[in-house]
Amino acid sequence: MKRIWQHPQEPKTGRRYWRSVGELERRSEFMNKLGVEFPAGDTMDEHEREKQLVREKYAQEIRAAQAAGQLAFGENYLQEALAKMADLADLPLEWHFIGEIQANKTRQIAAHFRWVHGLADAHHAERLSRQRPPGLPPLKACLQINVSGEATKNGVPPEAATALLAACRQLPGLEVVGLMAMPAPAVGEAAQRQPFLALRQLRDRLASPDCPLRELSMGMSDDLEAAIAEGATLVRIGTAIFGARS
């Protein structure tokens, strides 16, 4: 039996978790778009069912992107990433952790990712290096720099980058390959380029022959042209490829 995802007026049998009728309508539209077959007598909790469908949708999207030639995928939610890795284990993908690093996540990040982009703490760096499983190459790392000086943003201030780099370079399980930034949103390409230029200039000052810091991880959907114009080697594009997160 093909079941249309529960309409707001239907009596709910599953757990009630919808925040509003508007939200339910949007979600039910999304579920119906997926055109999923529900077995007769299906009693799965709505919440569990939604989670499963979203997981299938993510996997389909990544398969489509891989088929189009995209091999590197960035994730900022660890548990979501681990589920995707399990679903896509048959594909030769390269996984980048781009979210905030927390001490209680370092073991799994070190075990499952090839790259981290948001490294901004020597203590996290030490844990990642120590927890990198033997047999894997060093974890590639970009140091996150708070180029816009925003109090709420992760990243070390530019003047602390030298010390962080020196600390990270002592660690055998890490290979510092570049810098990363997520500047404050700005309007217009000229304004957007400023912080990216600052990151490139900082990289040029920190780089040395035995640590060339080739990578500049900068640019997202709204400012990728500005980032590329300033020398980005890695752009982290979410919305422009996969749409806004539902």
Ligand X SMILES: Cc1ncc(COP(=O)(O)O)c(C=O)c1O
Is residue 131 within the footprint of ligand X (CB under 6 A)? no
CA dihedral 74, 75, 81, 87 (to 10 degrees): -40
Is residue 186 within the footprint of ligand X (CB under 6 A)? no
Is residue 237 within the footprint of ligand X (CB under 6 A)? yes
Structure tokens at 152: 């709420």
Minimum CB distance to ligand X, residue 119 (Å):
12
Q: What track of x and - describes contact with ligand X for positions 62 through 91 (by CB under 6 A)?
A: --------------x---------------
Minimum CB distance to ligand X, residue 81 (Å):
12
| Paired strand residues for 211 | 208
Minimum CB distance to ligand X, residue 241 (Å):
8
User: Looking at 29-37, 104-112, 164-172, 215-223, which segment touches ligand X (CB under 6 A)?
Assistant: 215-223
- Chain residue whose CB lies nearest ligand X: 238
What number of chain residues touch ligand X (CB under 6 A)? 11
Is residue 147 within the footprint of ligand X (CB under 6 A)? no
Considering only residues 91, 198, 220, 228, which one is a binding residue for ligand X as defined by CB under 6 A?
A: 220
Is residue 221 within the footprint of ligand X (CB under 6 A)? yes
Other CB atoms within a 10 A radius of the CB of residue 52 amount to 12
Considering only residues 182, 202, 216, 232, which one is a binding residue for ligand X as defined by CB under 6 A?
A: 182
Q: Which is nearer to ligand X, 52 or 239 (CB)?
A: 239
Minimum CB distance to ligand X, residue 236 (Å):
3
Minimum CB distance to ligand X, residue 116 (Å):
11
* Residues lying near ligand X in the complex (CB under 6 A): 76, 98, 182, 220-222, 236-240
